[in-house]
């Protein structure tokens, strides 16, 4: 009996086809996670030849600072994440009430002249965790949403989801989302 000196071979010609089909299968069936982040509309560029710097009275600025120790400071008072929404609502919706009845016990001495003039200044340290930054942004968004919902109910007798585009524009103009973001070093 004669034996062949050659080792048996496996036909690898179709391996590339199988690998390509598996790749397509995994690409089609894989779940691609949605991007996470903060959905914000960036301000428009200042038109040439126009001065877009506006002086804002100190009374109309609520300063929120996130430091490297993951602490939240509102006008130099350390607060918890749960207090951000209520303090923001009080600041925004005071309408220049000098006595500030809402402010008692809130740590706020003065509040904005009007929601259209109120600006929330959010400053984050480079060592601030992104999760804390997003949580504060969420609380600010909730504050604005609740104020807008209350305004929509009072003015139009509707919830925000029932408003027409024109009514929604009126509500947004009454409570514009004015948040200035910066980083501290």
Which tens digit of pLDDT belongs to each residue from 97-106?
A: 544 444 444 4
Question: Domain range spanning residue 144?
Answer: 58-184
Collapsed DSSP state (helix, strand, coil) of residue 60: helix
Instruction: Please state the pTM of the whole predicted model.
Output: 0.70
In-domain check, residue 9: no
Establish if 21 belongs to a structural domain.
no
79 in Cβ contact with 87 (< 8 Å)? yes
> CA 17 to CA 31: how far, in whole Å?
24
CB 125 within 8 A of CB 113: no
- 178's enclosing H/E stretch is none
Which residues in the chain show pLDDT less than 70?
A: 1-4, 12-13, 34-38, 40, 95-111, 185
The total number of structural domains in the chain stands at 1
Q: Residue 100's pLDDT is what?
A: 45
């Amino acid at each position: 009996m004669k034996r062949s000196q050659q080792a048996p071979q496996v036909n690898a010609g179709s391996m590339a086809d199988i690998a390509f089909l598996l790749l397509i299968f995994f690409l089609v069936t894989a779940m691609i996670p949605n991007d996470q982040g903060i959905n914000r509309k960036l301000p428009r560029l200042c038109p040439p030849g126009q001065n877009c710097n506006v002086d804002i009275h100190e009374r109309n600025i609520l300063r929120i600072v996130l430091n490297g120790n993951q602490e939240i400071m509102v006008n130099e008072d350390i607060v918890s994440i749960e207090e951000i929404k209520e303090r923001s609502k009080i600041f925004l919706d005071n309408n220049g009430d000098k006595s500030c009845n809402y402010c008692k016990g809130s740590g706020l001495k003065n509040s904005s002249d009007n929601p259209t003039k109120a600006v929330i200044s959010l400053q984050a340290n480079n060592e601030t965790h992104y999760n804390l930054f997003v949580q504060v942004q969420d609380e600010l968004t909730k504050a604005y949403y609740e104020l807008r919902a209350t305004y929509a109910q009072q003015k139009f007798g509707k919830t925000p989801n029932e408003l027409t585009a024109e009514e929604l524009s009126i509500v947004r103009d009454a409570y514009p989302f004015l948040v200035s973001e910066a980083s501290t070093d």
